[in-house]
Amino acid sequence: EAGVTQSPTHLIKTRGQQVTLRCSPISGHTSVYWYQQALGLGLQFLLWYDEGEERNRGNFPPRFSGRQFPNYSSELNVNALELEDSALYLCASSLGHQPQHFGDGTRLSIL
Amino acid sequence: AQTVTQSQPEMSVQEAETVTLSCTYDTSESDYYLFWYKQPPSRQMILVIRQEAYKQQNATENRFSVNFQKAAKSFSLKISDSQLGDAAMYFCAYRSAEGGSEKLVFGKGTKLTVNP
């Protein structure tokens, strides 16, 4: 069974640009979660999607947004990129209250 | 808001020895889940073990076991017979059992080095 897949693996952008990160959950999982792992800040919760709806949002500005598609895959969009957005972005999926399983992440570097 | 604290930024252990990683948390909830995740340099977060707060029995998964002290809000991870492949960052995480709050709250992590 395929795990959570994320694309791209690495991304380099400049300040002010926009970026879209993608996540495909484990087959059968309906919930997708996004986390930011920035150096020195640990893992911070960004967004939770379930059945196509945004269910919860972490303490991030509105320029972080996303969506979940009917096939349960998800996108994370970040507008007006800032230097401090440089981080590893991790996607996780789960079914109901079962544990979350993570992908390999997308490493975003802002120059 | 819930918080998770890992007081050991780094730990080291000799191969085949036992090591214990500490984790404390703060919550006003009575029902919740606790997890230990492992993140090797390959960066994928791997679930090591989980504990439901309503269960008094400590969880065990092969060489990994936890010491869950609910009253003390403590959740330590013991790794027995340490192997070189156990070297990684270990994160303790909390998740509410209340509906509408499925997010994981993570500690800052403990970097475990295994010496041959």
Can you tell me the distance from the alpha carbon of B110 to that of B75, in angstroms, rounded to the nearest whole number? Answer: 14
Residues of B in contact with A88 (CB under 8 A): 43
Chain segment B31-86, per-residue pLDDT in tens: 899 999 999 987 789 999 999 999 889 999 999 999 999 999 999 999 999 999 99
Q: Does B100 score more than 90 pLDDT?
A: no
Residues 76-115 of chain B whose Cβ lies under 8 A from any Cβ of chain A: 91, 97, 100-109
Burial class (CB in 10 A: 0-12, 13-18, 19+), B47: middle
Q: How many Å lie between the alpha carbon of B95 and the closest alpha carbon of chain A? A: 9
- Pairwise CB contact (< 8 Å): A90 & B50: no
Residues of A in contact with B32 (CB under 8 A): none
> Of B90, B14, B32, B99, which Cα lies nearest the Cα of A50?
B99
Residues of B in contact with A94 (CB under 8 A): 102
Mutation site for A-interface testing, chosen from B6, B44, B90 by largest number of A Cβ within 10 Å: B44
Can you tell me the distance from the alpha carbon of B51 to that of B67, in angstroms, rounded to the nearest whole number? Answer: 10
- Pairwise CB contact (< 8 Å): A90 & B45: yes
A26 interface with B at CB cutoff 8 Å? no
Can you tell me the distance from the alpha carbon of A72 to that of A27, in angstroms, rounded to the nearest whole number? Answer: 9
- Pairwise CB contact (< 8 Å): A33 & B102: yes
A89 interface with B at CB cutoff 8 Å? no
Tokens of A78: 């970040």
Residues 13-32 of chain B whose Cβ lies under 8 A from any Cβ of chain A: none
Rg (CA), chain A: 13
Please name the amino acid found at residue A70.
Answer: P
Given this model, what pLDDT does residue A47 score?
A: 95
Given this model, what pLDDT does residue B30 score?
A: 86
Can you tell me the distance from the alpha carbon of B61 to that of B91, in angstroms, rounded to the nearest whole number? Answer: 16
Q: CA B30, A55, A4, B61: dihedral to nearest 10 degrees?
A: 0
> Of A43, A79, A47, A48, which Cα lies nearest the Cα of A60?
A47
> Of B53, B76, B50, B27, which Cα lies nearest the Cα of A101?
B50
Sequential DSSP letters for B4-65: EE---SEEEEETTS-EEE--EEE-S-SSEEEEEEEE-TT---EEEEEEETT--SPPEETTEE
HEC string for A44-99:
EEEEEEECCEEEEECCCCCCEEEEECCCCCEEEEECCCCHHHCEEEEEEEECCCCC
Chain segment B2-33, per-residue pLDDT in tens: 899 999 999 999 999 999 999 999 999 888 99
B99: confidence class by pLDDT, cuts 50, 70, 90: low
Given this model, what pLDDT does residue A106 score?
A: 96
- Pairwise CB contact (< 8 Å): A104 & B42: yes
- Across chain A, which has 111 residues, the per-10-residue mean pLDDT values are 91 97 96 92 91 92 96 97 96 90 95 92
Q: Find all residues with CB under 8 Å of B11, minimum gap 6, and list them.
A: B19, B21, B110, B111, B112, B113
Q: How many Å lie between the alpha carbon of B74 and the closest alpha carbon of chain A? A: 20
